[in-house]
Amino acid sequence: MSLAFGTGGLRGIMGYEPNQINEDVIKHVTHALAKVVFSYDFPKSVCISYDTRFNSKEYANIVSEVLSTYGITVYSFDKPMPTPALSFMIRHKNLGWGVAITASHNPQEYNGYKVYDHYGVQLTDKMAMEIMEAMKECYKNDILDFKQSHKKDAIFLDPAPYFEQVINYVNKLNCQTNSIPIVYSALYGAGANAVPYALKELGFDPICIQQAPDGSFGGIKTPNPEEMIVYEKAIETAIKNEAKLILATDPDCDRVGVIIKTKDGFLPMSGNQIGALLIDYLAQTRGVNSGDTVISTIVSGLLGEKLADEYGLEFVRLLTGFKYIGEYAVQLPKDKQFFFGYEESYGFLAGDGVRDKDAVIASALIAKMTAYYDEKGLTLFDRFIELSEKHGYCLEKLHSININSEEQNKIMQSLRNGIEIDGLINVEDYKEGIKSLPKADVIKLYFENNSWAAFRPSGTEPKMKIYMGVKEDTYEKAEISLDFLCKNMLLLAKKL
């Protein structure tokens, strides 16, 4: 059994090799989860959600059947629902645990298994390891052929309270706006059952495309809102309908990508840019209280931190993976409050209902924010430029190299052996436990011109991820610096 919990749960290609996702693996990990459930003093109840991938509903049914044989009460939705709805329902119904059957934004041949704790947070390292250890014991005892004498049907949940908290949060903002034309793509995923409803309740009338559930995602190679290829139909629709905003969510609807209309055409906004803009927007429309805290990651950009400082918000950086953001939010002391969380890969969270990234509330906030600036004659990019003029032009880029784990390890070990690069002033190796964070296979390089780069093997795909960022006093300089940094880091990776 070589599958392991990574940054986004247990994921793999569906098939019958030992390191792939199939019915037996789903049974196996669920037996292990049941063992862990009984080792904690949380309610013996589990909420299950699933996306529109091939086999997701079938796998969710297997999870329900296995857990019920242990006498664990199972709750579920009667259709594909966003993963953040699961996180909310755990908290709202005071349930013990949650399981989401999804591989998020991975290609169609993948599926996966995310586990959530009593607080609606995706399991971090300690609990994930406990399940992995329990999986070993399950194999020893050969319990895959379990009896179903105690099997009970799942109790279906009404998602209405989840939508209510999204609508209530957005309506409390000091921001009354008119509607704007929006194109929304669910990319054939679970967002179709959530985002259009939320937007309509807030006064928008989105043009919805790619809504029908489809495990092949309409033939899109990777249903990832970070990739421009997924927006081909959305942009075509936006041009025909003179839309000012395009939103696209991944299959389990925890990430949302953003494209805006400018005088020069349609422009994608990065996760770092949207995160910074939402900090600015929420500070203006919601206000800031003492102890309000923004949580992000070590590979996210600099502008968000600059804005947090300007508004008097505490800013915290954690390891990559929104589970760490959710965990930190839950553990905040009484004199601090969660204000906003984001990561560069289009994951955003506001409010107290959910403790994982949430593309439903993010889509609602982005729509309201776009309308807010539209009434001022500005686009989101115009506001980004205004903020950059004040705080510096921070631009970032992510480059992924498709290589196997052996090649990834070679690059990381070479970096740890020491490198010589012009302008390098500091190296942080997170495998050494930097800044009181858990140990992680990440190396971050800092350069004398305020630029930085981070190398991290992907926790969900056979890729080496290279994050890069720069800060300059003009947009043109920032583009040149980022291009130069990117070329140098890719050359470095090839040499290693």
Categorize the per-residue pLDDT at 17 as very low, low, confident or very high, splitting at 50, 70 and 90. confident
- Report the C-alpha gap between 195 and 185 in whole angstroms: 9
Would the pLDDT of 146 be above 70? no
The pLDDT value recorded for residue 144 is 47
Model confidence at 147, pLDDT cuts 50, 70, 90, reads low
Residue 274 and residue 258 in contact, taking contact as beta carbons nearer than 8 Å: yes
The pLDDT value given to residue 143: 54
Mean pLDDT of the 40-52 span: 98
Second CATH level (architecture) for the domain 393-495: 2-Layer Sandwich (3.30)
**Residue linked to tokens 């259709």:** 79
Query: 353 in helix, strand or coil?
Result: coil
Q: How many Å apart are CA 454 and CA 250, to the nearest integer?
A: 25
What burial class does residue 477 get, using C-beta atoms within 10 Å of its C-beta: 0-12 exposed, 13-18 middle, 19+ buried?
A: middle
What does the domain layout of the chain look like in residue ranges? 5-159, 166-269, 273-361+368-390, 393-495
Structure tokens at 366: 């982005």
Strand partners, 265: 262
For 113-144, the pLDDT digits (tens) are: 999 999 999 999 899 999 999 988 876 655 54
The domain 5-159: what is its CATH number? 3.40.120.10
Q: Closest by alpha carbon to 340, among 319, 372, 316?
A: 316
Task: Decide if pLDDT at 173 tops 50.
Answer: yes
Each residue of 60-101: pLDDT tens digit?
A: 999 999 999 999 999 999 999 999 999 999 999 999 999 999
Per CATH, the number for 273-361+368-390 is 3.40.120.10
- Antiparallel, parallel or unpaired: β 292-297 and 337-343: parallel
Candidates 76, 104, 363, 481; catalytic one: 104
**Mean confidence (pLDDT) of the chain:** 94
Q: Do 222 and 105 touch, CB atoms closer than 8 A?
A: yes
How far CA 79 is from CA of 49, 57, 207, 320, in Å, comes to 8, 9, 22, 30
Asked which of 41-50, 52-61, 460-469 is least confident by mean pLDDT, the reply is 460-469
The predicted model scores a pTM of 0.96
- The answer to whether the 273-361+368-390 and 393-495 domains have the same CATH topology is no
Give the Cβ contact number of residue 385 at 10 Å: 14
Q: What is the pLDDT of residue 346?
A: 97
Catalytic residue status for 64: no
Residue 151 has pLDDT above 90, yes or no: no
Amino acid at 343: E
Q: Are 114 and 262 in contact (CB under 8 A)?
A: no
DSSP secondary structure, 289-345, as one string: -TTEEEEEETTS-SHHHHHHHHHT-EEEEE-SSHHHHHHHHHT--TT-EEEEEEETT
Q: According to the CATH classification, is domain 166-269 in 3.40.50.300?
A: no
Task: Check if the beta carbon of residue 317 is closer than 8 Å to that of residue 343.
Answer: no
Residues of the chain with pLDDT > 90, as a percent, come to: 88
Amino acid making up residue 173? L
- pLDDT for residue 416 is more than 90: yes
Whether 217 shows a pLDDT value over 80: the answer reads: yes
pLDDT over 60 (residue 280) = yes
